[in-house]
Amino acid sequence: MKKDRIQIFEIVVFSAILLVLVQTFLEDFASLMGWMRTPREILVWTGFAFDLFFTIEFLTRLYWAFTEKRVKQYFFHERGWIDFAASVPLLMLNSGPSVFALVSATASVVMISGILNVLKVLKVVRIARVLRFLRIIKLFRNIKYADSKMTQRHMMRITTLIITTVVIVIFGFSILQNTLLAETHSQTASTVVWRQIVAANNAAHSPAGVRTVLTLYAKTESLVWEISDPTGKAVYSRYSPTEIQERFIKSSDYEHFFDPKTGITAVLDTRPVLYQEAIQNLLFFSLVVILVGVLVFLYSPHFALTVSDPVLIMKNGMKDPHYNLEIKIPALYKDDDVYELAEEYNEVFLPLKDRDLTAGKSEKDAGGLSLKLEDLDFLSDEKNQ
Amino acid sequence: MDVLTQKGTQFIGRLLENPAIATLSPLQKELQILEFLGAHRNELYPTLSSNQFFPGKPEGEIFAILLSSLYLVINQSLDPALKHIVSAQIDFSFIKHFSTSQPAPESVRQSVLMFLKKLLTRPLARRTATGPLTALELGLVDRYLDHGLSRREYMCMELEKVQRLRMESVEIKNYIKTTLLLKPAIALPLAEADMNNQELRGATVQPVFAERVHTLIKNDLKLLPDEVQKSALNANLSYEENRELEATSRIAAILSARAAYAKQFTKIDRGADTPDKSWFSIARRNAKFYGFDLKMCEEFYKIASDFGY
């Protein structure tokens, strides 16, 4: 019963992992394609739900490990660190704040701006989502060639190393981009536009002139969403409130600018920057998918055919006196240690075993009979009657 | 059938139902059960002497009942198999090439069948017949000789040029099948006490012994030419020590050994060679030990390799 429950739990977790990978892809795809508010809002909520689910799952597994006194084993050897990295930080630093920003959409703009800045710095943690790929590798156990435990372990190890390295490198570069290269980062299109707005404002000599200059500028610059004069009155607004409701959802879709000297404010569209980020994220996502696919479907068969299969055949040959199938030795790999051993197995061990069997030396000792006493259930059944 | 035999038959029937031996030929199954009973005699006795089986019977008597039951059960499938081999698989008309007298094919079939039935009443002969009869059941002669004769390499040269068989390919195959069928005749004069004789397990005998057996079977198989009888008996000789052996005998010796432990529908592990190819590869390395013709083994190996057997 407990085993059944665990099996159901595992199935649910694996389904969630597959779904969250789709969700991760769609979230960036939605930014790239400029999807409307509603579907994007759904994606933010589902992202949050998945992160919450995986956080609970991680805590549950950690609790089980704790009760069984194998926390270290779980965290380091059973890849609990992947469960952690792909859940708690994401909930705390990415999807949690995003949902908060969404819920607070009707709250003060200042608060949203604050959240916006937090999200900008912390969104690099989203990269950790691809670590979930490492968990679905278990799913490939049943595919052809990946049925040996040795192959599975090697595949898991090599995939973990490669994907983790890729994640760490990209994570490092993202941090670098957001901190050390902050100056470069500030030179985004929206910042440049804001500087031009301030300059245009300063060039005008009367409030009417300011209004005219800013309106003209705003009409020609597509990034300008809204410009307000020092009194807070909108000089120019590209979208109606309804359009804003439909088009924008994320606080990162726009940026607030305020000039303390003149008192003018502007809201500028930052989505072009987001497009670039979405493209980068999708590229990264595709890279990981392809890497996992190449390792599972190309490298795994190669490993199985050239390492674990010959070993398995030799194991069978040594266990079963009547098993006499030779190992095929590909000419290309004949100098491999495994195939050198296989050659010895073919040319020395099997003939020797065959002679021993004929001489009646190994048959009984090695249990060479096809009939086994333990297989004959009817003997014990009838004895018990 | 008395109650004890009935119980014995039931017990043997249950053993034969075991999936581990399901794909084996009747004599291979018999061999497995014989070896199983021998290996687990002590463990089985307490169960077999319980009320459910043979209460109060001494060990020797119980195993005697089981052995006779085993032969009884196996004969039920062996007899039709033998009839099928003799009447449908082998055409004895090839004997016309050896003598001027032309006995009726049906008479030849009957005499061979009668001889085999007599032969297979002997436990050791049954053991010796396991390989040859399984080889015939598996159709190994057709499988390999078709290729061997069409390749016109060593095997064909030995049959046509050295042994000088001036007959059609199909007749050569029938000759080899007959050689296989009668190969177990070597066990005719041997008693059950010889069962564990290591030399016999190795399956080679001395030419003098084969000659002695020939004189014994001559009368039973008088419708078959001497060459055929000798070919069958010589299939039990070592080629290493008797370089003049007929090619038919050498082929029969190899195919018989191949089939002795062969399983049908063997699962081939990924990365492993096919069963026949593996077996012939081992056989060529052990050719001297078994008294096989190395070149013949190599040709069988090549055929198995080329055709994925």
Q: Dihedral (C-alpha) B277, A360, B185, B36: value to the nearest 10 degrees?
A: -100
CB A190 within 8 Å of CB A224: no
Q: Do A257 and A129 share a structural domain?
A: no
pLDDT tens for A276-307 read 878 888 888 888 889 888 888 889 889 999 99
CB B23 within 8 Å of CB B264: yes
Q: What are the tokens at A148? A: 């040996």
Q: If pLDDT is split at 50, 70 and 90, which confidence band does B198 have?
A: very low
Q: Do A305 and B270 touch (CB under 8 A)?
A: yes
Q: Is residue B83 part of a domain?
A: no
Q: Do B271 and A327 touch (CB under 8 A)?
A: yes
Q: How far is B215 from chain A (nearest CA, A)?
A: 29
User: Mean pLDDT across the stretch B13-25?
Assistant: 86
**Which 3 state secondary structure label does DSSP give B227?**
helix
User: Mean pLDDT across the stretch A197-205?
Assistant: 74
Helices B59-84 and B26-39 pack at an angle, to 10 degrees, of 170
Asked if pLDDT for residue B74 goes beyond 90, the answer is: yes
CB B21 within 8 Å of CB B29: yes
Asked if pLDDT for residue A205 goes beyond 70, the answer is: no
Q: Is residue A378 part of a domain?
A: no
Where does residue A74 fall: left (phi above 0), alpha (psi -120 to 50 degrees), or beta otherwise?
alpha
Q: Do A203 and A102 share a structural domain?
A: no
Q: Is residue A323 part of a domain?
A: yes
User: Mean pLDDT across the stretch A337-341?
Assistant: 96
Asked if pLDDT for residue A7 goes beyond 70, the answer is: yes
Q: Do A347 and A214 share a structural domain?
A: no
Among A308, A325, A336, A346, the strongest candidate for a mutation testing the B interface, having the largest count of B CBs within 10 A, is A325
**Which 3 state secondary structure label does DSSP give B273?**
coil
Contacts of A338 in chain B (CB under 8 A): none
Q: Do A263 and A162 share a structural domain?
A: no
Contacts of B200 in chain A (CB under 8 A): none
Long-range contacts of B1-7 (CB under 8 A, 24+ apart): B4/B54, B4/B57, B4/B65, B5/B65, B5/B68, B5/B69, B5/B72, B7/B53, B7/B54, B7/B65
Q: Do B28 and B136 share a structural domain?
A: no
Q: Do B289 and B242 share a structural domain?
A: yes
Q: Which residues constitute the domain of residue B20?
A: 1-78
Secondary structure percentages of chain B, helix, strand, coil, to 5: 70, 0, 30
For residue A370, the model assigns a pLDDT of 67
A360 touches chain B (CB under 8 A): yes
Q: Which of A185, A216, A237 is the last residue of a domain?
A: A185
Q: If pLDDT is split at 50, 70 and 90, which confidence band does A260 have?
A: confident
Q: Which of B29, B47, B78 is the last residue of a domain?
A: B78
Judging by DSSP bridges, how do beta strands A224-228 and A265-269 pair with one another?
antiparallel
Total residue length of chain A: 385
The winner for highest mean pLDDT among A76-80, A338-342, A381-385, B219-223 is A338-342
Asked if pLDDT for residue A90 goes beyond 60, the answer is: yes
Q: Do A178 and A34 share a structural domain?
A: yes
Q: If pLDDT is split at 50, 70 and 90, which confidence band does A108 have?
A: very low
Asked if pLDDT for residue B120 goes beyond 60, the answer is: yes
- In terms of Cα–Cα distance, which of B309, B296, B308 is closest to B151? B296
Q: Do A326 and B43 touch (CB under 8 A)?
A: no
Q: Which of B23, B48, B78 is the last residue of a domain?
A: B78
In this predicted structure, which of A3-12, A362-371, B107-116 has the lowest mean pLDDT? A362-371
Q: Do A82 and A96 share a structural domain?
A: yes
Q: Is residue A383 part of a domain?
A: no
**Which 3 state secondary structure label does DSSP give A235?**
strand
Q: Do A200 and A106 share a structural domain?
A: no
**Can you tell me the distance from the alpha carbon of A159 to that of A178, in angstroms, rounded to the nearest whole number?**
28
Say how many domains are in chain B: 2
From first CA to last CA, the distance across chain A in angstroms is 30
Asked if pLDDT for residue B237 goes beyond 90, the answer is: yes
**Can you tell me the distance from the alpha carbon of B14 to that of B29, in angstroms, rounded to the nearest whole number?**
12
In the block, which residue shows the tokens 């410009």? A227
Q: What 8-state DSSP symbol labels residue B25?
A: -
Q: Do B187 and B251 share a structural domain?
A: yes
Total residue length of chain B: 309
Where does residue B177 fall: left (phi above 0), alpha (psi -120 to 50 degrees), or beta otherwise?
alpha
Nearest Cα residue in chain B from A314: B272
Residue B107 CA, chain-centre distance (Å), reads 23
In this predicted structure, which of A42-56, A173-187, A322-336 has the lowest mean pLDDT? A173-187
Q: Do B116 and B255 share a structural domain?
A: yes
The winner for highest mean pLDDT among A60-69, A84-93, A163-172 is A60-69
For residue B3, the model assigns a pLDDT of 79
Which residue type occupies A232?
G
Q: Do A157 and A62 share a structural domain?
A: yes
Q: Do A211 and A165 share a structural domain?
A: no
Q: Do B269 and A316 touch (CB under 8 A)?
A: yes
Q: What 8-state DSSP symbol labels residue B237?
A: B
- In terms of Cα–Cα distance, which of B70, B91, B69 is closest to B1? B69
Q: Do B98 and B71 share a structural domain?
A: no
pLDDT tens for A207-241 read 777 777 777 777 777 777 778 877 777 777 877 77
Among B16, B204, B278, B309, the strongest candidate for a mutation testing the A interface, having the largest count of A CBs within 10 A, is B278
Q: Do B32 and B173 share a structural domain?
A: no
Phi, psi of A305 (to 5 degrees): -70, -35
**Can you tell me the distance from the alpha carbon of B60 to that of B261, in angstroms, rounded to the nearest whole number?**
28
Q: Do B162 and B26 share a structural domain?
A: no
Q: Which of A137, A169, A185 is the last residue of a domain?
A: A185
Q: Do B198 and A360 touch (CB under 8 A)?
A: yes
For residue B149, the model assigns a pLDDT of 93
Q: Which residues constitute the domain of residue A347?
A: 288-371
Average pLDDT of chain B?
A: 88
Interface contacts (A, B; CB < 8 Å)? 100
- In terms of Cα–Cα distance, which of A364, A320, A375 is closest to B16? A375
Q: Is residue B85 part of a domain?
A: no
Asked if pLDDT for residue A20 goes beyond 80, the answer is: yes
Q: Is residue A98 part of a domain?
A: yes
H/E element holding A211?
helix A207-220
- In terms of Cα–Cα distance, which of B297, B277, B276, B275 is closest to B286? B297
Q: Do B105 and B72 share a structural domain?
A: no
Q: Is residue A342 part of a domain?
A: yes
For residue B116, the model assigns a pLDDT of 94
For residue B245, the model assigns a pLDDT of 93
Q: Is residue B84 part of a domain?
A: no
- In terms of Cα–Cα distance, which of B79, B93, B110 is closest to B222? B110
User: Mean pLDDT across the stretch B296-303?
Assistant: 97
Q: Do B254 and B153 share a structural domain?
A: yes
Greater confidence (B50 vs B201) lies with B50
Q: Which of B78, B105, B122 is the last residue of a domain?
A: B78
Q: Do A306 and A210 share a structural domain?
A: no
Q: Do B178 and B59 share a structural domain?
A: no
Say how many domains are in chain A: 3
Q: Which residues, at least 6 apart from B127, have a Cβ–Cβ distance to it below 8 Å?
A: B27, B31, B34, B187, B195
Q: Is residue A59 part of a domain?
A: yes
Q: Do A324 and A237 share a structural domain?
A: no
Among B14, B267, B270, the strongest candidate for a mutation testing the A interface, having the largest count of A CBs within 10 A, is B270
Q: Do B271 and B209 share a structural domain?
A: yes
**Can you tell me the distance from the alpha carbon of B49 to that of B45, in angstroms, rounded to the nearest whole number?**
6
Asked if pLDDT for residue A123 goes beyond 90, the answer is: no
For residue B171, the model assigns a pLDDT of 95
Q: Is residue A63 part of a domain?
A: yes
DSSP secondary structure string for all residues of A282-321? HHHHHHHHHHHHHIIIIIHHHHIIIIIHHHHHHHHHHH-T
Q: Do B160 and B260 share a structural domain?
A: yes
Q: What are the tokens at B162? A: 């050295």
For residue B199, the model assigns a pLDDT of 39
Q: Do B270 and A363 touch (CB under 8 A)?
A: no
pLDDT tens for A154-192 read 888 898 899 889 888 888 887 777 676 655 545 566 777
pLDDT tens for B259-290 read 987 776 678 889 999 999 999 999 999 999 99
Q: Which of A185, A217, A242 is the last residue of a domain?
A: A185
Asked if pLDDT for residue A116 goes beyond 60, the answer is: no
Q: Do A166 and A193 share a structural domain?
A: no
